[in-house]
Structure 1
Amino acid sequence: MNYQPEKYWSKVAQEITKRNKGNVIAGDDEPYYVYKRQQFLKLFHKLDFKGKSVMELGSGPGGNLKVVAQHQPARLVGVDISENMLQLAAENLKNYPAELIKTNGTGIPLPDNSIDLVYSVTVLQHNTNYEMFKLYLEEMGRVSRDKVILFERTEITEKGDELNMGRPVSTYATILKNKGFQLVATQYLPIHASYYVCGAIRKVLNPRTRAEGEPLNKLSLLLEDFTLPITRIIDKFWIQKREVTKMEFQKVK
């Protein structure tokens, strides 16, 4: 597969539109992803957005921006490579003041030091081309005047495929250090048992040709609903230093 970000995420947006459920996140709305989002939001709601200018890289259908809007930021900006995703975001954010900007894939179209807090949620991990990944991370540092906060897949050593690449925390830290930022905190999303079990269910019971955004079959959904009450208990006690990781970077004054 030749991964082309704009084309790929535009197709995901089309799949979300087909479901017509008012989805506010990219990808699937299967039980595991609902649970994963609940765990993510516990951390996300703790961030201080009030009165700040905030930008999301890879804003997708606008679900995270909608959450930020409820925290009363002074300015809210979403940047995405897909026009289809931005159209979904515009619909989901029609009751909130948000600026939605399309990037052409070569950078973030905002001035230096123009945003207080810049963040991404499982977006940079899909930039499997290292040069593009590095460019966007550097761009986040260029645009931010205070903080960069990432929720991205990390691994002890670089591993993944052409759609999803986990990189060490040190890789992120080294790139942002060159832009004047210091890593001040890391936190790992407690989802690991559920991740493995539901991932196996998804992989074994669905065709390999299934694209992201397409619904799972009914048996997969049933098994996820059955196993999640068990795995979510294990998640609390079995936390690995990998997968979705919150990394908080502060600009050195």
Structure 2
Amino acid sequence: MSARVSTVGFFFQFMPRQQSEAMLKEKVHDFWNQQSCDTQAAQSEKFSKTYYEEIEQFRYYDQPFIHSFAQFTRYSGKKVLEVGFGAGTDFIQWLRAGARVSGIDLTEEALQNTMRRISAYDLPRPERLELSDAENLPFPDNSFDLGYSFGVLHHTPDTGKALRELVRVVSPGGELKVMLYNRHSVWALQLWVKHALLRGRPWRSFRWALANYMESAGTKGFTRKDLLDLFSSLPVHELRIRTEVTSADSLASSGFPPLNWIYRILLYLAGERRRWDPLKYAERFNTPTPRLVKAGRGVEPTPALFTGNRLGLYHCITARKDAG
């Protein structure tokens, strides 16, 4: 895949932006339409109850902080939109919690997975569940109490536009919860070492490594500065960004075992500790600290609270839409 993606990326730069983004979006669709996120962990018959249980076990073992980040049970009776529901693992948590949830995804595979999953567990019907594009949401302004998207918007060509759309459909005073990849992560470092440094092309960037070797074509990672720039132009406040370590960061399978110790030492120095208690995630996330950063130039400054391990792969972002 990598050589082919690199070649496509080379030709994209000579196309009009609209055309190149349409082609990239088609590639993203085709990649995820082959297999929804986390379904590779399931060994049982597809669409069976055991199949879905295996997916759920894997997801929340690998990313135990999702429940503390999403806080599903807080949204009972609230209107929630999930952008990019994939195999439906988080989506059914909203249903179980009693939320009035709607969802969109780019792929037919995700829609089929989630509809069958809802049926397998005999869960309540969602308000809306349909195929759509994160950059063009089919909902009126101010429709939801929460806009949620976990690990999706870094795959769409225009992430900024997708964020603007998510803010648009959230009601004033409503919340946004988004996970985006961190370009300055140990995982991005090991991709660069494996596909750039050890292959004699050290001039290649982390951005290039993620775009060509991380899941679908064109995958992006965002630095802390990138996030400040993205959110400073949006009508939001209470911006909080916690960067989390997953098993991918901890293992950092480089194909060159001695480097794994370097990755682990870097994570430790950046703040990872063993026996971390995921139940304290929300408490630490919501506890004010002096680490506030003022963002924005020429616009109203957006205070941003950064916590977590700055070398982790997952930026877990929360914000609140301005009231009117």
Per the alignment, residue 189 of structure 1 pairs with 244
Retained in 2: the 8 A contact 1:181–1:252? Answer: yes
Q: Is the 8 A contact 2:104 2:130 kept in 1?
A: yes
Shift of 1:54: 0.1
**What runs of 5+ residues in structure 2 fail to find an aligned partner?**
9-23, 186-205, 258-267, 278-307
TM-score, structure 2 as length reference: 0.57
From 150, 153, 163, the counterpart of 1:124: 153
Could you tell me whether the CA contact under 8 Å between 2:72 and 2:97 is conserved in 1? Answer: no
The equivalent of 1:93 in structure 2 is 118
- C-alpha separation between the residues in 1 aligned to 2:165 and 2:80? 15
1:168 matched to 2:223: yes
Question: Whole-Å Cα distance in 2 between the matches of residues 250 and 188 of structure 1?
Answer: 18
Per the alignment, residue 200 of structure 1 pairs with 253
Shift of 1:35: 2.2
Gaps of at least 5 residues in structure 1 are: 206-230
Aligned partner (choices 108, 119, 126) of residue 83 of structure 1 = 108
Aligned length: 219
CA contact (8 A) 2:249 2:313 kept: no
Change (3 A) 1:137 1:161: same
**In 2, Cα distance between equivalents of 1:30 and 1:64:** 9
Which moved further from structure 2: 177-186 or 150-159? 150-159
The 3-state SS of whatever aligns with 1:111 is coil
1:151 to 156, 162, 179: 179
How far apart in 1 are the matches of 2:177 and 2:317? Answer: 6
Seen in structure 2, the aligned counterparts of structure 1 residues 32 and 181 have a Cα distance that, compared at 3 Å, is same
CA gap 1:235/1:153 in 2 versus in 1, 3 angstroms: farther
Corresponding residue for 1:223?
A: none
Q: Which of 31, 36, 41 in structure 2 is aligned with 1:8? A: 31
| Kept in 1: contact 2:102–2:129 (CA 8 A) | yes
Q: Return the TM-score normalized by structure 1.
A: 0.71
SS in 2 for 1:124: coil
Residue 39 of structure 1 and its aligned partner are, at CA, apart by 3.2
Q: CA deviation at 1:84?
A: 1.6
Q: Secondary structure at the match of 2:181?
A: strand
Separation in structure 2 between the aligned mates of residue 70 and residue 88 of structure 1, nearest angstrom? 17
2:159 corresponds in structure 1 to 133
Contact 2:237 2:321 in 1 (8 A): yes
Tell me, in whole angstroms, the C-alpha distance in 2 between the residues paired with 1:71 and 1:235: 28
Q: For the residues of structure 2 that align with 1:118 and 1:234, how far apart are their CA atoms?
A: 32
SS at match of 1:165: coil
C-alpha offsets along residues 77-115 of structure 1, whole Å, 9 cap, x if unaligned? 111000121011111123222121211464111111111
Q: Is the 8 A contact 2:105 2:132 kept in 1?
A: yes
SS in 2 for 1:91: helix
The one-character-per-residue Cα deviations of 1:111-162 (angstroms, maximum 9, x if unpaired) are: 11111100111111223x3xx2122111111111111111222245973224
8 A Cα contact 1:6 1:82, kept in partner: yes
Give the fraction of aligned pairs with identical amino acids, expressed as a percent. Answer: 16
* Worse overlay, 79-88 or 174-183: 174-183
| Counterpart-to-counterpart distance in 2, 1:58 and 1:91 | 16
Code of the aligned partner of 1:90: M
Of stretches 101-110 and 49-58 in structure 1, the one that deviates more from structure 2 is 101-110
Larger Rg: 2
Higher relative contact order (CA 8 A, sep 6+): 1
CA deviations on 1:179-201 (whole Å, 9 max, x unpaired) are 3112432223243xx32343407
